[in-house]
Structure 1
């Protein structure tokens, strides 16, 4: 029975099972369906990209698709972005070339409801974003399977296990290379000594044979890492460092084999072994350098308990943290760590929050206080009501942010990567030119070679050019410094959502700060209170209005009322509105259906509603009125944060102009600004005006950083080049920010600028080192001054210098 090729998968099959369609042949209905799908979607150029390569026929759609739409699957693997779109990381099986990547991305992009789909060339990991109202995840998986591939959820635990296995494999290969190379070196010492003292051809041949036996596993077992890397690079039309190493070592090995079996000249098995060993050791040390940066992430992960105790129907049950729901009651014993966020409903205790904020002193917590995941209960048993699921809890959010920041790239790294892509092509071209110049023009630096030896000299010089060039140092320059910088920032209580903000922070020219909660503690103390009408029902309305706000002023006055009046109760207010940078407005209807208009805020709010009541003070002022009659006034003072003066002074020394934008009155703003040394103050400004002010600074060419907290800062934060949310801020301000300051300390905020500047400086140093190294060593190698052995050593040293220089970021 004759064989024919399938027009889709290109696999050969028997004519007896063929599906014939005019001039087309298909091995199965799946291939026939995919072929017409690609034709209908104008994706038939896939076959041009595929060429003569074969692929697997489409998989049969199995019944396991429903699991991708279950709540348990979504809880573990799916996240939601700020636009309400769903996101998932998938591993796509069956991809083996750039055409497969192209096909999957095109098909996904052309599917209605899919917003974004990007597939990593090296590990086949796809990040898919979709609109769940238009398409289900199971349909996306079905689509991928329908074109001949399979997809399953990316699991970080499995990825960690694979990474550990890969590291161990790396270490074994390196040890094989080191052992063999040390023995080759001993043979080489004897061979080179014999060169001067006399050695017989037979003994020399035996030594070459011994070197051959030892160098072979080094090249083909230990060096397999470089062959694999070169293969993936070539598959995607990229000549990388692995390609240069493997080409240099392989050509040298082949030439030495010819010498072993009779060709006249010297063998270079020692160079083959040392090229692989030196570069392998260098790469392993790079892995260790990266690991030290990622250890911070592992430390934070270890703070998350896997199970917790729930109180349900009076019974205590142990459940997985992923099964905890909002509203559940959690019991926390002495020595236990909180697994999710919540509010204490019973008991009181001291908590160690060092894993979150870096604060070493325990913090006393009582009923109604917030507990954060990862914090340690030190004193006594407490019960708390869950307010966030495990996925959204503080510590898990920190881990997610840190993972994302470690995976992201600064702008300068993208530029370096573009340079390194063309670098390998240039080196290969220079190597070939070097060979022909040496061979045809007889450049031999004064030495006289016969035909074979002249070829040998030309060949070895060309190999040295390939081996000494180091795109590795260039490619390492930015990511290794960024990783170490990100981990150091995390230790200081600073979470960068992306590594690119290091570069932005280092280039800051204008720093815009809010007053309350940023320069000041945000915990206002009441210095004077005037209750003009102590009717308890009216105070209930004040208490209810304050309870509707999370502003520091509202929280402080609410606490004051709780301490001075025991019989307060919450009323059901209607039409509650927050009036930006002024205060709050609400209405209330009593049992007789009588309506009351309630106001609470600053002087500006009172005047806007036509209430004539003048109240001057250097402190922050809160005026409460019912039906345009003032019922109570409060003067509040906010203490300036520790290190505020030093922070402003250090910013000014580094040519960063500090500007205070605040909704508070001008007297208070100027007083605080004068105390800390801020020269530019804009007071009585609402959130929209703050955002316009920041946009104006950006239009003038400034790199603007904004630090603030609270809902009223969210618009301005989103307008800045880099936004920094203080850790005690509202959820919305944290959500729109690029950097989260966990411990709320200005000293840590100062460290953000110091470490970012230092990291950016070392990135530029690393790039300079790698460029100067290549500019100096490549011409030397082309001139014949460097043998492959020295080339391999210097190449590894250049990478290690970059890593060692980056580790200096950890220094003082």
Structure 2
């Protein structure tokens, strides 16, 4: 007698106790009080559709213990809540990790239940990542109540933590590897047995030996069909429930139709067996799915937790005493201490101290900026050399850095999603394939030959099984990704290869992207005729040896003779001075050297209060840039320069390199606006940048690219990461996209052409199942081989 199973979690009911509820006019039995309580909550809230549409059993539920309720209540503390959530007006926003989600119905259930709670303004549950994003009014609804309601539904939720998310992704990767290993290893074993059976058909084989080989083949194929192929069945069932056929429907149908037909032939000792086809088909599909998952995982990891690049802690001055605190808890009016080398944790105003800060992560300009009392400073910028006391003007969440990250999330949601042509073709093909297979069976069974109806239908389904169509796109994409990886190009968004052939506008950031991000001497303006360039530059280089300032590195190549200097003094954010031959030498900005500013000059030299020279610095272009841009223009791309640099150097670079248009002095918001204007004009845009100020507009562009030497946030957010600081690889990326698109078209053309030819032959019974398998295998092999050519180029 079969063991009765729990209606909620499908686990066996092994105890003598009976927990029952009535649902849809039937008595439903449960394994424990926890599952009964969860089911009662779901049904009483009018959410019974969950049980009708779920594709996986729920996780076993347990009644909430008192200590868990106490733990959830701790999240209501204002201090804890401030660390876990962000404020958006009256609303609070939080991201939760939800364990136990097994299918889309689980996500639907949680969303529906929480929307019924007063105070919930919005909720989105992602069943793929097992995460929920909730907006609510904390004055009306406590966070602990939200977590308790999720727990009552049989799921466990907690504030999102990156380390826990990493564990989830590792577990998912392990499942992919296990299924791939099972299908791959068993495919080899079953194929060896199939070769023996094939040769036995030609040379003669004892029935006992044939039956033995078939039974072993069936036993080895069973784990492949019911374990390795499980994701395809789950996907197929979900698509059927949603009334939309996807490629996994005929794939699953073919796998199990072939498996059960072969099993029937084995049990009855009649007909043919095709176990090797089941194993190899599942292995090829799993291989493609595995590589697709690896590509998706990198993109998902990049956006897992953008807040991790924000400062975590701050040193707050309370009654003049420094105390460590959370950066998120800082409020306007708080006084903080920022030491040399530290990242500013909030926007504010310098209350005391002098220093220079690096705002390149936010502005795109590498010029260190002097800061003194009353000057504004930005969260995310790095304090170079002095100690600053800063009065907070904006908390971290509302700082410029926080707004940039919020802007990234908004533009990410607005990113255009191009419908894949293969999905449309697959939907059309699948529907007609199933109708043709059904019609074939009915015609043969009732009008032609009932004994052959099953096998002719199998021939139709196997011969026209969309193996080649299913493999056409993923194999080409997989091989293209591998080819580009070998050429030091990492694709993190699996839609990039489809978008690359349509790119029309290529937009570059300047500082750190076209340029090297390192200063060099561009021009020396001599203001005294008794000195030459070499001697003055050597003098400056001797002084700059005592400074760690980035500008000082521009003069290192001009150090040809060591000079005796004494009484070296560094004025933070202004310059450096020393005694040389009894005279005071000063190198720094115009005010420090008491000089009249000269347009373009950044560094001045004075001896005994006499200004001798003014030096213009430049950020040198990458050596590969001129040839790259010339090649891109020759291919017909429109080139734009979009930079935060407001100096005249932007015009010089744009004119020198022949850009079609220039926008300079742009804030991150303005960069996004320019990209969006281009996309509204139906232009397909690629953006290449390197800083935080570029990452916001990455998601507004169709394709975004950055280099290995870029900021961490830029590398996290870009669709493409070039693993060397070599922009010339951009042409390799673009050609790789064109090659991938051409290969996909060839694969689709072959798979469609093959099916157009084979379908009529299979329907009229001219294609035996044996020939159907060979045809299917040959078609799939041709598609895979064509894709593998990408690895050789």
By the TM > 0.5 criterion, same fold? yes
| C-alpha spacing 1:716/1:57, structure 2 compared with 1 (3 Å) | closer
Alignment correspondent of 1:793: 774
From 59, 63, 67, the equivalent of 2:62 is 59
**Residues 248-263 of structure 1 aligned to structure 2 (within 5 Å):** 248-251=258-261, 253-254=263-264, 260=269
State the 1:179 CA deviation.
3.6
Alignment correspondent of 1:281: 280
CA deviations 1:97-120 (Å, max 9, x no partner) are 765564345446767498432224
- 1:429 aligned onto 2:435: yes
**Residues 376-455 of structure 1 aligned to structure 2 (within 5 Å):** 414-417=420-423, 419-420=425-426, 423-442=429-448, 454-455=449-450
| C-alpha spacing 1:669/1:471, structure 2 compared with 1 (3 Å) | same
From 216, 219, 233, the equivalent of 1:217 is 219
Alpha-carbon separation, structure 1, partners of 2:266 and 2:238? 31
Alpha-carbon separation, structure 1, partners of 2:132 and 2:573? 44
- 1:486 aligned onto 2:481: yes
Alignment correspondent of 1:180: 193
Alpha-carbon separation, structure 2, partners of 1:181 and 1:731? 52
Unaligned runs of 5+ in 2: 76-82, 158-163, 241-248, 299-325, 327-340, 343-414, 529-539, 575-587
State the 1:703 CA deviation.
0.9
From 508, 514, 521, the equivalent of 1:519 is 514
| C-alpha spacing 1:253/1:191, structure 2 compared with 1 (3 Å) | farther
Alpha-carbon separation, structure 2, partners of 1:684 and 1:411? 29
| C-alpha spacing 1:554/1:690, structure 2 compared with 1 (3 Å) | farther
Alignment correspondent of 1:236: 238
Question: Are 1:647 and 1:747, in contact at CA under 8 Å, matched by a contact in 2?
Answer: yes
Tell me the secondary structure at the aligned position of residue 126 of structure 2. Answer: strand
Alpha-carbon separation, structure 2, partners of 1:420 and 1:79? 44
CA deviations 1:425-454 (Å, max 9, x no partner) are 432321121233345554xxxxxxxxxxx3
- 1:769 aligned onto 2:773: no
| C-alpha spacing 1:132/1:743, structure 2 compared with 1 (3 Å) | farther
Question: Are 2:107 and 2:126, in contact at CA under 8 Å, matched by a contact in 1?
Answer: no
| C-alpha spacing 1:19/1:612, structure 2 compared with 1 (3 Å) | same
Question: Are 1:87 and 1:127, in contact at CA under 8 Å, matched by a contact in 2?
Answer: yes
Alpha-carbon separation, structure 1, partners of 2:99 and 2:508? 43
Alpha-carbon separation, structure 2, partners of 1:710 and 1:222? 47
Tell me the secondary structure at the aligned position of residue 799 of structure 1. Answer: helix
Question: Are 2:603 and 2:614, in contact at CA under 8 Å, matched by a contact in 1?
Answer: yes
Alignment correspondent of 1:45: 49
Alignment correspondent of 2:662: 682
Alpha-carbon separation, structure 1, partners of 2:130 and 2:214? 43
**Residues 540-555 of structure 1 aligned to structure 2 (within 5 Å):** none
| C-alpha spacing 1:127/1:793, structure 2 compared with 1 (3 Å) | farther
| C-alpha spacing 1:21/1:630, structure 2 compared with 1 (3 Å) | farther
Alpha-carbon separation, structure 2, partners of 1:415 and 1:230? 20
Question: Are 1:49 and 1:99, in contact at CA under 8 Å, matched by a contact in 2?
Answer: yes
Question: Are 1:494 and 1:752, in contact at CA under 8 Å, matched by a contact in 2?
Answer: yes
| C-alpha spacing 1:694/1:632, structure 2 compared with 1 (3 Å) | farther
Question: Are 1:470 and 1:770, in contact at CA under 8 Å, matched by a contact in 2?
Answer: no
| C-alpha spacing 1:216/1:150, structure 2 compared with 1 (3 Å) | same
Alignment correspondent of 2:628: 647
Question: Are 1:115 and 1:129, in contact at CA under 8 Å, matched by a contact in 2?
Answer: yes
Tell me the secondary structure at the aligned position of residue 60 of structure 1. Answer: coil
Alignment correspondent of 2:570: 569
CA RMSD of aligned residues (A): 5.6
Alpha-carbon separation, structure 2, partners of 1:637 and 1:9? 67
CA deviations 1:656-694 (Å, max 9, x no partner) are 122334566897556545654x25243655446655544
Question: Are 2:218 and 2:275, in contact at CA under 8 Å, matched by a contact in 1?
Answer: no
Alpha-carbon separation, structure 1, partners of 2:648 and 2:573? 36
| C-alpha spacing 1:38/1:475, structure 2 compared with 1 (3 Å) | same
State the 1:788 CA deviation.
0.9
Alpha-carbon separation, structure 2, partners of 1:477 and 1:167? 19
| C-alpha spacing 1:718/1:117, structure 2 compared with 1 (3 Å) | closer
Question: Are 1:230 and 1:246, in contact at CA under 8 Å, matched by a contact in 2?
Answer: no
Alpha-carbon separation, structure 1, partners of 2:190 and 2:650? 67
Alignment correspondent of 1:749: 730
Alpha-carbon separation, structure 1, partners of 2:295 and 2:38? 47
Alpha-carbon separation, structure 1, partners of 2:256 and 2:682? 47
State the 1:185 CA deviation.
2.3
Alpha-carbon separation, structure 2, partners of 1:510 and 1:668? 22
Alpha-carbon separation, structure 2, partners of 1:508 and 1:782? 44
State the 1:465 CA deviation.
0.5
Question: Are 2:516 and 2:622, in contact at CA under 8 Å, matched by a contact in 1?
Answer: yes
| C-alpha spacing 1:144/1:671, structure 2 compared with 1 (3 Å) | closer
| C-alpha spacing 1:294/1:517, structure 2 compared with 1 (3 Å) | same
Alignment correspondent of 1:465: 460
Alpha-carbon separation, structure 2, partners of 1:126 and 1:654? 44
Alpha-carbon separation, structure 2, partners of 1:67 and 1:490? 46
Alignment correspondent of 2:469: 474
Alpha-carbon separation, structure 1, partners of 2:172 and 2:100? 14
Question: Are 1:704 and 1:721, in contact at CA under 8 Å, matched by a contact in 2?
Answer: yes
Alpha-carbon separation, structure 2, partners of 1:79 and 1:483? 38
CA deviations 1:75-129 (Å, max 9, x no partner) are xxx9999999765766527x5x765564345446767498432224xxxx62344
Alpha-carbon separation, structure 1, partners of 2:286 and 2:614? 62
Question: Are 2:416 and 2:702, in contact at CA under 8 Å, matched by a contact in 1?
Answer: no
State the 1:41 CA deviation.
4.4
Alpha-carbon separation, structure 1, partners of 2:620 and 2:589? 26
Alpha-carbon separation, structure 2, partners of 1:116 and 1:288? 31
From 502, 506, 510, the equivalent of 1:507 is 502
Alpha-carbon separation, structure 2, partners of 1:99 and 1:664? 50
Tell me the secondary structure at the aligned position of residue 117 of structure 1. Answer: strand
Alpha-carbon separation, structure 1, partners of 2:284 and 2:52? 42
Question: Are 2:93 and 2:135, in contact at CA under 8 Å, matched by a contact in 1?
Answer: yes
Question: Are 1:241 and 1:424, in contact at CA under 8 Å, matched by a contact in 2?
Answer: no
From 128, 141, 152, the equivalent of 1:146 is 152
State the 1:509 CA deviation.
0.5
Alpha-carbon separation, structure 2, partners of 1:26 and 1:247? 33
| C-alpha spacing 1:144/1:181, structure 2 compared with 1 (3 Å) | farther
Alpha-carbon separation, structure 2, partners of 1:150 and 1:691? 38
Question: Are 1:176 and 1:222, in contact at CA under 8 Å, matched by a contact in 2?
Answer: no
Alignment correspondent of 1:391: none
State the number of aligned residues.
605
CA deviations 1:747-767 (Å, max 9, x no partner) are 122222222222233233333
Alignment correspondent of 1:34: 38
| C-alpha spacing 1:516/1:429, structure 2 compared with 1 (3 Å) | same
Tell me the secondary structure at the aligned position of residue 746 of structure 1. Answer: coil
What is the TM-score normalised by the length of structure 2?
0.61
State the 1:525 CA deviation.
1.0
